[in-house]
Every structure is written in structure tokens, then in C-alpha cells.
Amino acid sequence: MIRVLVVDDHPIVRSGLVGLLGVEADMQVVGEAGDGEEALTRMATAAADVVLMDLRMPRLDGVGATRRITAEFPAAKVLVLTTYDTDADIILAVEAGASGYLLKDTPRLQLVDAVRAAARGETVLAPPVAARLVSRLRSPGTAAAASENPLTPREVEVLRAVSRGLSNADIGRELFIGEATVKTHLLRAFAKLGVDDRTRAVTAAMERGILPPPTVR
């Protein structure tokens, strides 16, 4: 059962999301909040696996709340759901620790699948968001960054598998190595890239040209 906390400052939007997720057999909405401060209070008792997070909210916005939740509740995954798709919003959310970034016009089935993917530890990007990242990665300077690759070939292989949404166990089976070895490669890659989670490691590798930009579908 995936425990979900819904955070949005619009009551009607919250109600819609609660109703949408509440009918799924493998999901349970354990709380809702109207701003980032309330989300932190709810997390203290709700122990949500996935936090569906709006960006623009009073008191504490989505970026600030994401940063605090990922620091204070490291097992939780934050999935941003917003109407804003600017470069600054996307980068700030990812840097704060968000596991994914979706827009509010995302179809129902895709949203539900995205919550499941986030709970599995996968990175989820809406196609328009992926397109903006592609554009950013193709901007001048990307080629120069590509030569700055501190990772070993095996670390690149592991990160490439992470970018495809594979779990550590899946990666181990695919590369014929133990799950503990996969974790070791990831931790070394994190240290070299100056990040502390899978999503930011993939983003940093793409920004440096180590991994190809996301495919837009």
C-alpha cells in the first residue's frame, strides 16, 4: 500500500486528487495540507511514502517544503504537481530533492502511474518538462561539460540504468553484479557529482553530458 500526502493550497484541487487516488487499490491518502508548513506537520504523523506537492503556496512554498521533507523524512518521495514549467522552477524543485515533476494537465492514468513510479524510487518527468531539460542540455557549454567526466564506465552504466527507472535489484540483475555493489557504485557517483540522491545524480550527469538527455515522448 502506497501512503500518499496531498499538498495544494486550493481545496478543490486537493479534493479532486484525494478522490482520484483514493479509488486505487494499492494507494491510501493519509493526509492533505494547504501549504508547506502544514505538510511538515502532517508528515510527522502520516509517514507518507509519496508527497504530491504543489509549488506556489503561502507560508512555505513547494520548493522549501520539498527540501525540508527530503531532509527530515528521507524515505519519502516528493512528486511535484504544478502548473509551472519554467527552467527555474524545474531546477529548483530537483535541487530541493523532488523525485519527479508533473504538470496539472497530466492525464489521470499517467498521474497514478507516476505516483507508483515515485514510490519505487524512479524519476518521473512530464514530457514538456523533459523537453525543457533537453533544450537546456543542448545549450552552449554542454559539449565542454561532456569532457568533464569523473565517473568510471561501470558508474556510468549504473547511472544510465537509474535514468531508465530501474531499481538497485534490477540493475544488479542486468549487469550481473550484487545489489550491494550497485549501491557502492551509486554512492561513489554521488560523491563525484556532488549530489546525494538518484534523481540529482542523473540530472547532474545529463547536465555534464555524461548521460544523454531524456527522451521526449
pLDDT tens-digit series, residues 92-146: 888 888 988 999 999 999 999 999 999 998 888 887 777 666 666 555 454 444 4
Give me the pLDDT at residue 151, please.
84
Give me the pLDDT at residue 148, please.
53
Q: Which residues of 145-161 are buried (b: 16+ CB within 10 A; e: fewer)?
A: eeeebebeeebbbbbbb
Residue bearing the bigger pLDDT, 149 or 61: 61
CATH numeric code, 140-207: 1.10.10.10
* Cβ count near 126 (within 10 Å): 23
Same CATH fold, 140-207 and 2-134? no
Whole-angstrom CA distances from 104 to 29, 111, 124, 128 are 18, 9, 14, 12
pLDDT tens-digit series, residues 7-63: 999 999 999 999 999 999 999 999 999 999 999 999 999 989 999 999 989 888 998
Judged against a pLDDT cut of 70, whether residue 153 lies above it is answered with: yes
CATH 3.40.50.720 assigned to domain 2-134? The reply is no
| Structural domain spans, the chain | 2-134, 140-207
The residue to which cell 504543489 is assigned: 54
Task: Report how far residue 146's alpha carbon sits from residue 161's, in angstroms, rounded to the nearest whole number.
Answer: 19
Give me the pLDDT at residue 216, please.
44
